[in-house]
Amino acid sequence: MKSLAVFSVKGGVGKSALAVNLAHAAATLSARRTLLWDLDTQGAATFTLRLAAAAGSARKGIAEGDLAPLVQASDYPRLDVLAADKSLRHLEKQLVEDDKAKRLKKLIKGFDKDYDRVILDCPPGLTELAEQVFRAVDLLVVPMLPSPLSVRAYDQLVEHLARFRGAPAVLPVFTMVDRRKTLHRDTVAASPERLTIPYAAAVETMAATQTPVLAAAPTSAAGKALAALWAQVERGLTTG
């Protein structure tokens, strides 16, 4: 089993949209048994996959070290979800209190037999939860808007990670790229190797249609960009 987290210090950069689409791509394009774990109380990823909080609470499952009873099937084959719930508001406190730096890593390891890919949708911020995520996953996918300040925040994150022993590989992605904007074009041109996801109605409407882009519009520009991103992620996970 390999794990990845969609992470950014910033909010509103397309993390949840990416997490849902990558998880759906893992399950469909690569036929991986995939678990999407929504760690953000806002539950955007959970909602987008037409789910709601499970009957039990994540807080209890985490404390007891058994999350399996909370796993729900999605509408897509091989794609399961650990939905967000309100108890995640206390997750930060819970992780600090129990003073186990690798608590999250252990919980993910618990899914080793049942899943090939575990994908985390994270809340924003360099919090205790983020530090646990850095210790737990094989790869961080970091979406950013194509602006100098977002690129700077990303560089700061990479610097921060450099201090971690066993830090995960990092894959930066420009999201919501609007090629009509000079600033977007220039920022993307300065890092030509970085993958880009266009600003696209196909992604934006996911919140209304509750359908991943590769299910609703696989041949759209955004669909192709997401498939290309997944291919790169999968290469990173299988060779890394």
Ligand X SMILES: Nc1ncnc2c1ncn2[C@@H]1O[C@H](COP(=O)(O)OP(=O)(O)O)[C@@H](O)[C@H]1O
Q: What is the 3-state secondary structure (H, E, C) of 13-48?
A: CCHHHHHHHHHHHHHHCCCCCEEEEECCCCCHHHHH
- Answer positive or negative: Cα dihedral of 57, 58, 60, 61: positive
CB of 186 to ligand X, least distance (A): 19
46 is a site residue for Mg ion (CB under 5 A):
no
30 or 42: whose CB is closer to Mg ion?
A: 42
Q: Which of residues 179-198 bind ligand X (CB under 6 A)?
A: 197
Residue 146: contacted member of Mg ion, ligand X, none (CB under 5 to 8 Å, by partner type): none
Question: Checking phi first, is residue 50 left (phi over 0); if not, alpha (psi -120 to 50) or beta?
Answer: left
CB of 122 to Mg ion, least distance (A): 8
End-to-end CA distance of the chain: 12
List residues bridging with 145 in a β-sheet: none
Close Cβ partners of 89 (under 8 Å, ≥ 6 residues apart) = 41
What is residue 138's DSSP assignment? S
Q: How many helices and strands, by DSSP H and E, does the chain display? A: 12, 8
Per CB under 6 A, the list member of 156, 204, 228, 235 interacting with ligand X is 204
13 is a site residue for Mg ion (CB under 5 A):
no
For strands 71-73 and 79-82, give the pairing.
Answer: antiparallel
44 or 233: whose CB is closer to Mg ion?
A: 44
CB of 158 to Mg ion, least distance (A): 21
11 is a site residue for ligand X (CB under 6 A):
yes
Q: Which of residues 151-180 bind ligand X (CB under 6 A)?
A: 175-176
CB of 45 to Mg ion, least distance (A): 7
44 is a site residue for Mg ion (CB under 5 A):
yes
Per CB under 6 A, the list member of 13, 88, 91, 107 interacting with ligand X is 13
Binding site for ligand X (CB under 6 A): 11-17, 44, 175-176, 197, 199-200, 203-204, 206-207
